[in-house]
Each structure stands twice: as structure tokens, then as C-alpha cells.
């Protein structure tokens, strides 16, 4: 396809996506169900075959280099054996810098169209991506398919559309005429979008595509060359996406090094070398707060733009509900989904000692806690749904954290135990542990316990519960908050307090939407105004901070 053909082919898609960004109503370009009726009856078998063929082989969809690297292992109990080109930091920088000029010369519409073409081609890989994600992150297959396929690609399209909208907001050329009495003067003015520089995107181990594509595609659509530095434990999924973008660029005669994959190992990391390089001017980071703080500090020291999504302590307030069963079903699923390994998963559950109002009655804390345990057990011990909902634990450090929580000496609502994953006897899979305490143990629960670990915390009142939540958001950050409350005045009080503290809040979820989820084109993922991170997928600042507008004036 030519550039003109690509632009014509994707005009409608870009228009729909820009409209969806403005309207904030439901919109999904790619269906989320891994259905043969949608993606082809043989799509699953073909994707699984490609995954199996890739194991113990070089990833040859990227250019070959003299050296290779890669040491991924499936949380389901086997090494992947996939190797990737090993490129030095200096070569990555030189290639990206050389490629950026021609990319910058394209119009924003052309860049956006090229990126949509790459996404459409990448959608043909959804099933392989699903298996690659399952066996690098530990997600169950359906979740891996959705999170790294349709949902991640929608987030990428959202960023492209946001970037195109921003760059198209004003005229790029104009004849400016100023009346001056009997005469007038005219100046031919044009405005050029100038990218900040190389954009480094640092990925995480649990959501290697969903958390990478927003920054990757926001950087690309605004004219920057991008270097994707995945977590060494989860390279394969995003490598597929990078390869598809490079394929489209090469077919159009553009330098495929406009986007590159930088692969390293835990023993020989290159992330800080890239962060510190003067040519890198924009950094997207997703991962733990400790290293995220280092990245933020390095960026600030050298005047770089940085977008971070680190981690926080997500809280729940249990005040009142009309239906305790449905409320606890929803909360139990949120605690169990992917074994709590989501940046939006709840951790701390606050409830007043007097109990929770259910309809016109008050139910004791003991009864509410028992109901929650019952709902978690019902899901965990469901032979069909339990293993796939829990998935496997990505990191040995997370598994060790569960053991640490078990030994804290707090009351145990339910213990964590191994969960059998059919077909994968060596899977690192475990059920949630739920602990019970009160506000005297704030030193324990106010830190993040990433993984299938949660705390039920007794307070003196609703007001104290709310104060605990807002204090936690301000001091430790949060990417989600959930409140169960049927009282209008208290609900408004909670909304005002939590939003003003800087976190998004959800109320009374009791159906098939969970607090963990963030919908592209509607939800602004990450408020960007608390210690959990400074970025929002995707608001105006997420794209406009990646470029400058420089004017050119010519006497007419």
C-alpha cells in the first residue's frame, strides 16, 4: 500500500476514534471476545502454532544482530527459550536519531494513518499475543488475549487519536493580513510540530503491551522515534507489536528504526543507560515505585519529560449496600482476578466496627468478612473459572511476598494456598490471602503489597474510613478507589474527598464491571496527581508534552 492508500483506508477509523475520545461513551474498535466467529475459526489454532514454533528459537521478525539475548520463563513452569537481537545503547540512539527526521517530515494525519495500519495488521496476531502474554505474565489466556490484544490496541488507538486531535487543533498554514489604514500587510505563516526527541518507553512484567502501547504510540504520532525497553521477563508480546510497526514502515520506504526494541537481562540491564543518554528526551515508565522514583529523579536532573505509572495502595470503603451478595461477588472477583497483580487491584478494605448497613439492617463486620471469604472461595474452588481467573504469579518476589504476609501475625480471614492449573503442574499459582486488622497496624497496610494480598481494616466510623483512604492516596498514591454507600450525602462526601485527594473513585459496583478495569476512550487511567504516577492514559498532556510548535513567517 502507498501512503495515500493507507491514509484513505483509515480516515473513518481515526474520525471515529477522535469522536469517541471526545464523547467518552462506549467505543471499541476491536472486539474483546477471543471468538472464532469474529477473528476466524482457525485463528486460535494458528496463533497457538506460531507461539509453539517460536519457543526455543530466535525472534526473526526483528533484524538480526551479531549478538542475542533473552531469558523469559513462563510462570506456568517452563522456559520460553526465545532470543532477541542485542543492540547496544549507542547503536539504538544513533539509529533512532537518524530515523526521526523523515518521520517528523510526515503530516500528523500521515503518521496517524501509518500507525493505524500497523495496529490493524497487529490485530491478526491477537491469538499469538495472547499465548505470549499468558506465558510471560501468568495471566489466564482469555485475560491475556483481551488485555494485550483488543484492550491494549484500543489504548494505542486512543493515544493516536488524541495526538492527531491535538496536532490538528489549529491551522498549520495561514495568510495573515493586518489592516493598517489605507494599506495592509500580509505574512505567510506556517507552524511546524517539532518532536522533543527520542522517546524511551520502559515496560513492565505484568502488562507488557497494555501499559506500553499508550506511550509508544503517543510518542510516534507526535513525530518522535521510539525505543521500547521491555521488562526482561516479558519481551515476546511487545516484540510482536514492534515488529508489525517496523514492517509497515519498511514497506512505505521509511526507516523501520523509527521504532526499536531494546532487550536486556536482569543481570545486565541497560535501562538507566538509556534514561541518562542526552538524546533521550521523553521517558514513559511503568513499574515499581522504587525504580520509578529513580527514573523521575534522573529525568528531572536533565530536563527530560517523564510520564510515570508506578504503584499505589488502592482502597475500598464498605459503608452500605442494597445487596451484600452482589457487592461481595464483585469485590471478590476484583481481589482474585490475575491474583491481584494489577495496578488497580484493591488492597485495603475499610469498614466501621459497627458493621455495614444492608438495606434497612446492619450486618456485623464478622458477617461481612465471612461473606467476602465465601465469595472468594466460591470463585477459587470453581474448577472451570478459578484457575483461569487467578492465572499464575509472574514473579518469585510476589510469591515470597504472600509468604511474608502469612507471617505478619494478623488475623487471617482466608489463607493462601496453591491452585492447580490444568496442564501446567509446575505453575506458580496461589489463591488470595485476606488478613484482618485495625488502624493500629497502619505501618503494615499503608505500603503496597503487590499480589493476591488484601487487608480488612476496622475503623471507628465511616468518617475515619474515608480519612484513612484520602490520607493513603496523598501519601502513598492510588490508581483506583471503590466505595459501597447508599447514602447520598455520604457518597458525595466520599466523592469530593477522594477526587480532591487525587484518585479516581467508583461506587457500588455489583455487576460485570470491576474497579480493576479501565476502558479506553472513556476512562482516564491514572489521575496523574498522586504519588502513584504523573501520567494519564490519555489526556491532552499525555500527547502535547511530547512536541513543540515552532512558527515560520514569510513576507508575502
- State whether residue 482 is helix, strand or coil: strand
Domains of the chain from N-terminus onward: 3-310+535-555 (3.40.605.10), 315-507 (3.40.309.10)
- State whether residue 177 is helix, strand or coil: strand
CA atoms in the 13 A half-sphere facing the CB of 427: 26
Contact criterion met (CB below 8 Å) for 315 and 350: yes
pLDDT for residue 129 is more than 90: yes
329, burial (CB in 10 Å: exposed 0-12, middle 13-18, buried 19+)? buried
**CA-angle at 475, arms to 471 and 478, nearest 5°:** 85
What's the mean pLDDT when you consider all of the chain? 96
- pLDDT tens column, 513-541: 999 999 999 999 988 999 999 999 999 99
pLDDT for residue 21 is more than 90: yes
The band of 66, judged by pLDDT with boundaries at 50, 70 and 90, is confident
The DSSP symbol for 30 reads S
- State whether residue 421 is helix, strand or coil: strand
Contact criterion met (CB below 8 Å) for 353 and 318: no
Q: Which helix (H) or strand (E) element contains residue 187? A: strand 183-195
Mean pLDDT across the stretch 126-147?
98
pTM score, whole prediction: 0.96
Mean pLDDT across the stretch 418-441?
96
Mean pLDDT across the stretch 146-159?
98
Mean pLDDT across the stretch 194-208?
97
Distance of CA 289 to the CA centre of its chain: 15
The pLDDT, as a whole number, for residue 1 is 85
Tell me how far CA of residue 455 lies from CA of 106, 310, 452, in angstroms: 52, 21, 10
- Please, which residues have CB within 8 angstroms of residue 184's CB and are 6 or more apart in sequence? 177, 178
- State whether residue 284 is helix, strand or coil: strand
Distance from C-alpha of 272 to C-alpha of 276, rounded to nearest angstrom: 6
- pLDDT tens column, 482-509: 999 999 999 999 999 999 999 999 999 9
Amino acid at each position: 500500500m502507498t501512503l495515500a492508500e493507507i491514509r484513505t483506508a483509515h480516515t473513518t477509523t481515526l474520525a471515529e476514534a477522535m469522536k469517541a475520545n471526545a464523547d467518552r461513551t462506549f467505543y471499541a474498535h476491536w472486539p474483546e471476545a477471543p471468538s472464532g466467529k469474529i477473528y476466524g475459526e482457525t485463528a486460535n489454532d494458528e496463533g497457538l502454532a506460531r507461539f509453539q514454533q517460536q519457543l526455543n528459537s530466535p525472534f526473526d521478525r526483528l533484524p538480526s544482530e551479531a549478538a542475542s539475548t533473552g531469558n523469559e520463563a513462563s510462570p506456568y513452569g517452563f522456559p520460553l527459550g526465545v532470543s532477541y537481537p542485542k543492540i547496544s545503547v549507542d547503536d539504538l540512539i544513533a539509529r533512532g536519531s537518524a530515523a526521526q527526521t523523515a518521520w517528523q517530515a510526515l503530516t500528523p494525519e500521515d503518521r496517524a494513518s501509518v500507525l493505524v495500519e500497523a495496529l490493524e495488521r497487529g490485530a491478526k496476531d491477537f491469538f499469538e499475543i495472547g499465548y505470549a502474554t499468558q506465558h510471560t505474565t501468568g495471566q489466564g489466556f482469555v485475560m491475556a488475549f483481551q488485555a494485550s490484544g483488543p484492550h491494549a490496541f484500543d489504548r494505542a488507538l486512543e493515544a493516536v487519536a488524541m495526538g492527531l486531535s491535538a496536532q490538528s487543533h489549529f491551522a498549520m498554514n495561514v495568510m495573515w493580513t493586518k489592516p493598517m489604514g489605507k494599506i495592509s500587510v500580509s505574512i505567510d505563516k506556517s507552524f511546524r510540530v517539532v518532536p522533543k526527541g527520542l522517546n524511551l518507553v520502559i515496560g513492565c512484567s505484568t502488562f507488557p503491551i497494555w501499559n506500553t502501547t499508550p506511550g509508544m504510540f503517543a510518542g510516534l504520532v507526535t513525530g518522535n522515534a521510539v525505543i521500547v525497553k521491555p521488562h526482561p521477563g516479558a519481551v515476546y508480546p511487545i516484540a510482536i507489536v514492534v515488529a508489525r510497526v517496523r514492517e509497515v514502515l519498511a514497506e512505505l520506504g521509511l526507516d523501520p528504526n523509527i521504532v526499536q526494541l531494546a532487550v536486556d537481562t536482569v543481570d545486565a540491564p541497560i535501562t538507566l543507560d538509556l534514561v541518562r543518554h542526552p538524546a533521550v528526551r521523553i521517558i514513559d515508565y511503568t513499574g515499581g515505585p522504587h525504580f520509578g522514583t529513580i527514573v523521575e529523579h534522573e529525568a528531572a536532573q536533565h530536563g527530560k519529560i517523564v510520564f510515570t505509572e508506578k504503584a499505589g495502595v488502592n482502597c475500598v470503603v464498605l459503608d452500605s449496600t442494597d445487596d451484600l451478595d452482589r457487592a461481595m461477588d464483585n469485590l471478590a472477583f476484583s481481589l482474585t482476578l490475575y491474583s491481584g497483580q494489577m495496578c488497580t487491584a484493591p488492597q485495603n478494605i475499610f469498614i466501621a466496627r459497627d458493621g455495614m448497613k444492608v438495606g434497612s439492617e446492619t450486618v456485623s463486620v464478622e458477617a461481612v468478612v465471612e461473606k467476602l471469604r465465601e465469595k472468594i472461595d466460591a470463585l477459587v474452588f470453581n474448577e472451570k473459572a478459578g484457575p483461569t481467573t487467578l492465572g499464575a504469579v509472574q514473579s518469585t518476589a510476589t510469591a515470597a511476598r504472600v509468604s511474608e504476609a502469612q507471617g505478619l501475625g494478623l488475623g487471617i480471614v482466608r489463607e493462601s494456598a496453591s491452585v492447580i492449573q490444568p496442564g501446567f503442574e509446575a505453575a506458580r499459582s496461589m489463591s488470595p490471602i485476606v488478613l484482618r486488622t485495625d488502624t493500629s497496624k497502619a505501618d503494615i497496610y499503608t505500603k503496597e503489597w503487590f499480589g493476591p494480598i488484601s487487608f480488612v481494616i476496622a475503623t471507628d466510623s465511616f468518617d475515619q474510613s474515608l480519612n484513612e483512604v484520602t490520607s493513603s492516596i496523598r501519601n502513598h498514591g492510588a490508581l483506583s478507589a471503590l466505595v459501597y454507600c447508599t447514602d447520598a450525602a455520604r457518597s458525595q462526601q466520599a466523592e469530593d474527598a477522594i477526587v480532591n485527594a487525587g484518585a479516581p473513585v467508583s461506587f457500588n459496583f455489583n455487576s460485570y464491571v470491576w474497579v480493576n478495569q479501565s476502558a479506553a476512550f472513556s476512562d482516564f487511567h491514572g489521575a496523574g496527581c498522586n504519588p502513584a504516577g504523573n501520567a494519564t492514559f490519555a489526556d491532552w498532556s499525555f500527547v502535547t508534552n511530547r512536541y513543540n510548535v515552532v512558527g515560520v513567517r514569510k513576507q508575502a
